[in-house]
Copies of this chain bind each other. A is one copy, B any other.
Amino acid sequence: MAGTSQSALRYYDKIGLFSPAARGANNYRYYTPLQLITLKFIIVLADLGIPLTKIKELNSHRTPINIIKLLLWQESRLDREMHRLRTAYSIIHKYRDNIQNGLFANEEDICVEVADDSNECRVIFGPENDFRGSVGFYAPFIRFCESAKRNRINLNYPVGGYHRSVKAFLNAPGQPDRFISLDPMGDAKIPDGRYLVGYVRGYYGEFGDLPQRMASYAEKHNLELKGAVYVTYLLDEVTMTKPDMYLAKVAVGLSRQSMASENI
């Protein structure tokens, strides 16, 4: 028989969805040509992902209207499922991107990068953090996670940090003003412009001498650090086994009149 397997037919028989018209003396299942038509109906709906119980329900009251209702119901299920898959796809893409950038990054180097349409990075901002009385960033981070849940933000995207100003970053590099989710569907984006970029390996929120190195680099090359600072982890707990091997990328905004990048 075309379209389905023996075991499927036995299963349909067992659950009472579709039974043979007759059993032979040898106990074989015999189906009539007309039953093949019913079977086609079942296979089509089952292939659309409609549960067999729904198909069985339909069997007793099968009208065009009820079919349309069932199809609409399945459409909305498919909508949700496709949204889930697209989200998973986009998270995977983001991680692959980060990992590849992390593997190719020269950790010692500090350099100028330009953000524009070609490498647009979208984000979602969390609420403003409050570090009063907290050691490390765990308490505000947990608050961020809770607010994310309320706002239906997917926490599986990598998380980064945002500092309102260079001064704030140099002051307390481990205490961002806000956490950000690197969701490509986010409504905000890291603004176009030029950034001074450095990398650092180590635990979350620990930046070693990178802030100073970046500041002195800027001074030496006559660059004016200005605007916001974005910290993203290219290699994080998903990628690396040891927390001291995480790799952060720090991007510090540069003013427009800073020396052009080709001079560096």
Contact = CB atoms under 8 A, between A and B. Distances in A.
Given A40-B237, A82-B86, A237-B37, A67 B99 contact: yes
Interface stretch (A70-78, A168-176, A212-220): A70-78
A145 B2 contact: yes
Interface of A: 2-3, 34, 37-38, 40-41, 43-45, 47-49, 62, 64-65, 67-68, 71-72, 74-75, 78, 81-82, 85-86, 88-89, 91-93, 95-96, 99-100, 102-103, 142, 145, 155-156, 235, 237-241, 243
Contact of A78 (B34, B43, B88): B88
A237 B241 CA distance: 57
B71 A95 contact: yes
30 contacts: A2-B142, A37-B237, A37-B243, A40-B238, A41-B237, A41-B238, A43-B156, A47-B88, A48-B156, A62-B241, A64-B102, A64-B103, A64-B240, A65-B103, A67-B95, A68-B96, A68-B100, A71-B92, A74-B92, A75-B89, A75-B92, A75-B93, A78-B85, A78-B88, A78-B92, A81-B85, A82-B85, A82-B86, A82-B89, A85-B85
Which of A41, A64, A67 neighbours the largest number of chain B CB atoms within 10 Å of its CB? A64
Contacts of A145: 2
A104 to B, nearest CB: 11
A173 to B, nearest CB: 21
B156 A68 contact: no
A230 to B, nearest CB: 21
A162 B78 CA distance: 32
Given A71-B96, A96-B72, A48 B102 contact: no
A78 B89 contact: yes
Number of copies: 2
A63 to B, nearest CB: 9
Given A78-B92, A82-B82, 7 more contacts: A44-B156, A44-B238, A45-B238, A49-B85, A62-B240, A64-B102, A67-B95
Given A48-B91, A89-B78, A237-B37, A64 B99 contact: yes
Which of A38, A65, A103, A156 neighbours the largest number of chain B CB atoms within 10 Å of its CB? A156
Contacts of A37: 237, 243
Contact of A67 (B43, B72, B88, B238): B238
A105 B156 CA distance: 50
A74 B90 CA distance: 12
